[in-house]
Amino acid sequence: SISTTHPLETQRNQMKTITSILSLQKILSSYRGKKRIGLVPTMGAFHDGHLALMRTAKKECDIVIVSLFVNPLQFGPSEDLKRYPRDLARDSKMAESVGVDFLFAPMASAIVPPDLDTTISVSQVTKRWEGAARPAHFAGVATIVAKLFQIIKPDAAYFGQKDYQQTVVIRKMAKDLHFDLMLRIRPTVREDLYSGACGLAKSSRNQFLSLSEKASATVLYRALCHAKKRVDKGEQDCTLLQKEVAAIISLEPDVRPDYIAFCHPETLEPVLKILEKTVLLLAVWIGKVRLIDNIILANAPRHASL
């Protein structure tokens, strides 16, 4: 919501909205090498999670560009691209309020022309989880993010940890294709105590949930925190932990789990025993809405002397 914006943040310079790739590149060429350029790629429908990425980019970079492009390539045939929330006026105000310099909102035809013949597929880390549930999704994401990196050539790009597998895919794509930039993955922003959905990860999909569904959806974070507490106290058996997480989720009858996966943080292969670093990925359905969330679990080495 806009209400979390600090009043001072409205005092900044005016943000410019740019739709043409060439105009943006022309402007950026005058900054390149002199100013640090930060990119926050988005599909709009901004919430506090997006604003947190923009604020961090603003702190760490001289020039911040937010791209706003509802990417048709990452929607499956049964996923409703038309239903995706779009409100450029609201999004512009929100981005401007946190000091974004340029909002890049290209036409779909400029980014995905009818004769587009090149796509990027990242094979291994997309085999499971969201990649299995949404077959063309990550090729769509990787293709558009590579195009944005190529057009803007940012020094740093900002993504949220909430879409954990997406961050792994983008990191691998950037490494494999030698993109020379820093990837900054920032923590998930969650609903607060007074929201009626405490702990629920902010997501543009939350607006499709009823109030009672939102309350039920808080079970995701409760389940993640349970796993973290158990691991912090020394539990390492992922089969046991998986059963406990499933039992917690089953307490909410309108939440249908899709996967509960303890994985290696980079390969995303399932693990049976908690590693030094393990990621727990969750995906559930609530009605027609699919929600994902995750937490990093750390098997801290135990010292005999402690």
Contact in structure between 143 and 73 (CB atoms under 8 Å): yes
| Pair of tokens at residue 65 | 């560009």
Q: Is 74 in the site for ligand PAF (CB under 6 A)?
A: yes
Q: Is 161 in the site for ligand PAF (CB under 6 A)?
A: no
Our CA angle for 283, 57, 203, nearest 5°, is: 25
Binding segment for ligand PAF (CB under 6 A), chosen from 137-145, 184-192, 211-219, 242-250, is 137-145
Give CA 260 to chain center in angstroms: 18
Q: Is 294 in the site for ligand PAF (CB under 6 A)?
A: no
Instruction: For the chain, give the longest Cα–Cα distance.
Output: 65
The one catalytic residue in 6, 47, 50, 178 is 50
Q: Is 191 in the site for ligand PAF (CB under 6 A)?
A: no
Between 56 and 74, whose beta carbon lies closer to ligand PAF? 74
- Identified binder of ligand PAF from the candidate list 43, 57, 95, 201, rule CB under 6 A: 43
How many chain residues interact with ligand PAF (CB under 6 A)?
10
H helices within the chain, ranges in order?
Answer: 21-31, 48-60, 88-97, 108-111, 130-133, 137-152, 164-176, 211-217, 219-232, 238-249
**Nearest in space to 230 (alpha carbons), one of 178, 186, 295:** 295
Binding segment for ligand PAF (CB under 6 A), chosen from 139-147, 186-194, 222-230, 240-248, is 139-147
CA separation, residue 254 to residues 129, 218, 249 (Å): 21, 12, 10
- Identified binder of ligand PAF from the candidate list 56, 71, 97, 294, rule CB under 6 A: 71
Q: Is 188 in the site for ligand PAF (CB under 6 A)?
A: no
Between 188 and 278, whose beta carbon lies closer to ligand PAF? 188
- Identified binder of ligand PAF from the candidate list 144, 189, 248, 249, rule CB under 6 A: 144
Q: 163 exposed, middle or buried (CB, 10 Å; 0-12, 13-18, 19+)?
A: buried
Q: Would residue 50 show up in a list of annotated catalytic residues for this protein?
A: yes
H helices within 177-298, ranges in order?
Answer: 211-217, 219-232, 238-249
Our CA angle for 207, 229, 244, nearest 5°, is: 75
Q: Is 42 in the site for ligand PAF (CB under 6 A)?
A: yes
Q: Is 94 in the site for ligand PAF (CB under 6 A)?
A: no
- Identified binder of ligand PAF from the candidate list 24, 28, 37, 41, rule CB under 6 A: 41
Q: Which of the residues are catalytic? A: 50
Binding residues (CB under 6 A) for ligand PAF: these are: 41-43, 71, 74, 141, 144-145, 163, 166
